[in-house]
Amino acid sequence: MSQRLLPTVLAILASAVGAASAARPPIQSLSTKDLGLGLPKQETPFEPNWSVEAGAVMFHRSAGPSVPLAESAPPGQGTILNAADLEFGFEAGPYVSLSKQVTERLAGEILYFGMGGWHARRSVALPAGITTTVFDAGSTVFDRIDAWSESQLDNVELNVVYRLSGRFDLLCGFRWVGLEDTSGVLWDGRESGADFASASVWADNQLYGLQVGLDGTLWRPSTRLYLDGLLKAGVFSNQMSIGRDAGGTMPEFSSSAREITRTSVLGELGLFGVFEVTERIALSLGYEVMWIDGVASGLSALDRHDVGTVFCHGARATIEARW
């Protein structure tokens, strides 16, 4: 009987174990993701605290004011040389800026650029055929006239930059501009006679004032390549020094000097293509224009021309490092 009962008991136990296994939920295996391993890395945007930009500018500047320097003799025959004929070419100079991010939206910037020496020279030879209205030459005639001019521009800015949106920055700050012109003229009649006249002329402008501006991305076709725009304008107090040192044999031609303080206006406009080599290195190439109204320049001291407008334009190329 025990032999017949054992198979029956085993069958009942097997059925019970099977039912219990079916009722219990399946055990789920843990993956590396469940353990916090192998999760995708969270990318955080690079926000630099410092940036430095260095490179060069190459500007052309306008000529000085119109001052008739020489006429064909006898007087009234027409101008043969004007101070505006002394045309400057392009001149290169350094550009450097340093920026510090203070808060998420606020930054400080110091900037310098300058051109060390525009220069121009003109000469006209006409034996016994040159006179001038710069001074009373009377019946004296000259054989030739030589005129030259040099100019130097320096610019320093201290700006506070405020991020308006993801694309544009508002800036305001202090700006100093130094524009110095040095010129000379020689009326030489010693080939056909004994008279001559010379003048060393200077026009020094020191501009101090406040400016406002807007800087931002105008077009971004890709994450690395974009077009930046820049606009600045300011009102300045200009401390001008104008004068001439006269020499030669002409008694009616004398030295003079004066200092003037007046208001000048400056504007600047630029477009720059920027390529980000990496998130820390960027290359920039662009074109900008700058005009300064209310400055003495060139040979203005020869004809009591107090002020005029100087216009500069040209290229700027820089490399920027961020960290």
For the domain that residue 119 is a member of, what is the CATH number? 2.40.128.90
Read off the pLDDT of each residue in 212-236 and give the average, rounded to a whole number. Answer: 97
Alpha-carbon gap, residue 226 to 166, rounded angstroms: 14
Alpha-carbon gap, residue 228 to 216, rounded angstroms: 6
* Residue 31 counted as domain residue: no
**What are phi and psi for residue 85, nearest 5 degrees?**
-75, -15
Number of domains in the chain: 1
* Residue 19 counted as domain residue: no
pLDDT band of residue 5 (cuts 50, 70, 90) is very low
pLDDT for residue 1: 45
pLDDT for residue 89: 94
Helices (H), the chain: 2-23
Least confident of 93-102, 216-225, 278-287, 294-303: 294-303
pLDDT for residue 300: 83
Contact 150, 181 (CB under 8 A): yes
* Residue 61 counted as domain residue: yes
Cis preceding-peptide flag for 94 (omega within 30 of 0):
no
* Residue 88 counted as domain residue: yes
pLDDT at 3 over 80: no
Alpha-carbon gap, residue 317 to 10, rounded angstroms: 92
Q: How many CB atoms lie within 10 A of CB 291?
A: 15
Read off the pLDDT of each residue in 206-227 and give the average, rounded to a whole number. Answer: 96
Alpha-carbon gap, residue 112 to 90, rounded angstroms: 19
Phi-psi region of 174 (alpha: psi -120 to 50; beta: other; left: phi over 0): beta
* Residue 212 counted as domain residue: yes
Least confident of 10-19, 67-76, 95-104, 306-315: 10-19
* Residue 105 structural domain: 49-322
* Residue 273 counted as domain residue: yes
Tens of pLDDT along 35-70? 344 444 546 678 899 999 999 999 999 998 889 999
Helix (H) / strand (E) element for 154: namely strand 142-163
pLDDT band of residue 34 (cuts 50, 70, 90) is very low
* Residue 1 counted as domain residue: no
* Residue 12 counted as domain residue: no
